[in-house]
């Protein structure tokens, strides 16, 4: 196990193959997630779990070979009444609790309660995301929360799709986040969970103004950064990929006193600046750096760069080289 400021990682990779399941059952199963488990199928058992603890929220990403898990009545007596949203990222599962049974597959989800016994069968290797939220947090946002338990959430659920995107960004940035930011992110995740489950009208309006807008904007920014070097990056192509309107994207950026164009320009200039001061790019021509940062017009690049940094690209590169050669 590895632990770092609210992040916990468990893996069977370093365990002897013959002891993997027994150690995993005891350390991770019965002591961490409070579930018993058994391997099924002929392949050697393996599993890995990354857990992120935020204020009033726990996120876990789990990958595993085929197995069966059981939350027995004794394990369910641990006092936790958390409600857990499980989303399959790959694979398939049949889960049961009480008299209800739900079969679901990749990009579908289901909500269960830690207060009751239950279990699940994964007859193929899986990647699984779970989000555990205190029951009180969701009962305030979702009317008749018990009606949402053990109901299939289909993959077309827009709030759940956005939730998965937001959680991935959160996981990537977790080690750099302050406690205040983690608390805010936890609230945003709770908003998205509530929306995926069918939040009450008042809670939905609050979520739209808080968690959903933040999560949507972060997902858009992540998409922009992933495609920053593409000169065909535009508001329209971004809107099409995310299934929202260009006007809505503009409003999200305006909420931060910024425009889509300004955000893209700023990140492209930062990328070019990093290359200009990096010795590894010393052999690259400035126009090559500009084009690979996403600029299609060298004159525009030079003008925007000088306005941003108060110096030309050549000046910045020369200054960096002088600093390197100084004794």
Of how many residues is the chain composed? 327
| Per-residue model confidence (pLDDT) at position 55 | 85
| Per-residue model confidence (pLDDT) at position 326 | 53
273-299 residue pLDDT tens: 999 998 888 888 999 999 989 998 999
- Cα–Cα distances in angstroms (integers) from residue 136 to residues 139, 185, 206, in the given order: 5, 18, 17
* Rg, the chain, Cα only: 24
Residue 90 near residue 155 (C-beta atoms within 8 A): no
Buried b (16+ CB within 10 A) or exposed e, 201-222: eebbebbeeebbbbbbbbbbbb
Weakly modelled stretches of the chain, pLDDT under 70: 1-4, 199-211, 324-327
User: Using CA atoms, how far apart are residues 227 and 224, in angstroms rounded to an integer?
Assistant: 5
Question: How many Cβ atoms sit within 10 Å of the Cβ of residue 11?
Answer: 17
Complete edge-to-edge strand list for the sheet that includes strand 118-122: 36-39, 67-71, 118-122, 92-97, 100-105
| Per-residue model confidence (pLDDT) at position 109 | 94
| Per-residue model confidence (pLDDT) at position 325 | 58
Q: Which two tokens stand for residue 111?
A: 């909500």
Q: Model pTM greater than 0.75? A: no
| Per-residue model confidence (pLDDT) at position 192 | 85
**Where do the domains of the chain lie, and which CATH numbers do they carry?**
2-226 (2.60.120.10), 263-325 (1.10.10)
């Amino acid at each position: 196990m590895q632990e770092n400021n609210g992040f916990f990682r468990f893996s069977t990779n370093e365990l002897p193959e013959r002891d993997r399941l027994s150690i995993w059952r005891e350390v991770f199963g019965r002591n961490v997630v409070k579930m018993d488990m058994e391997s099924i199928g002929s392949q050697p058992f393996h599993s890995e779990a990354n857990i992120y603890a935020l204020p009033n929220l726990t996120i876990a990403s789990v990958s595993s070979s085929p197995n069966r898990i059981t939350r027995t009545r004794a394990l369910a007596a641990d006092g936790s009444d958390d409600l857990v949203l499980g989303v399959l990222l790959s694979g398939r599962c049949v889960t049961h609790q009480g008299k209800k049974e739900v079969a679901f597959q990749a990009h579908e989800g289901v909500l269960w309660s830690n207060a009751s016994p239950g279990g699940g069968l994964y007859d193929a290797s899986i990647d699984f995301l779970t989000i555990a939220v205190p029951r009180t947090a969701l009962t305030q946002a979702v009317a008749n929360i018990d009606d949402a338990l053990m109901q299939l959430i289909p993959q077309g659920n827009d709030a759940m799709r956005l939730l998965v995107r937001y959680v991935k960004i959160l996981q990537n940035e977790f080690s750099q986040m302050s406690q205040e930011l983690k608390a805010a992110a936890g609230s945003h995740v709770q908003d998205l969970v509530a929306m995926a489950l069918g939040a009450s009208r008042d809670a939905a309006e609050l979520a739209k103004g808080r968690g959903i807008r933040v999560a949507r904007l972060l997902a858009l920014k992540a998409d922009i950064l992933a495609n920053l070097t593409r000169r065909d990056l535009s508001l329209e192509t971004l809107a099409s990929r995310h299934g929202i309107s260009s006007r809505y994207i503009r409003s999200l950026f305006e909420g931060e006193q910024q425009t889509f164009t300004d955000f893209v320009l700023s990140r492209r200039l930062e990328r070019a600046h990093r290359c200009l001061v990096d010795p590894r790019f010393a052999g690259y021509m400035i126009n090559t750096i500009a084009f690979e940062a996403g600029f299609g017009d060298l004159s525009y690049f030079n003008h925007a760069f000088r306005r941003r940094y108060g110096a030309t690209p050549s000046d910045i590169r020369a200054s960096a080289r002088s600093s390197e050669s100084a004794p």
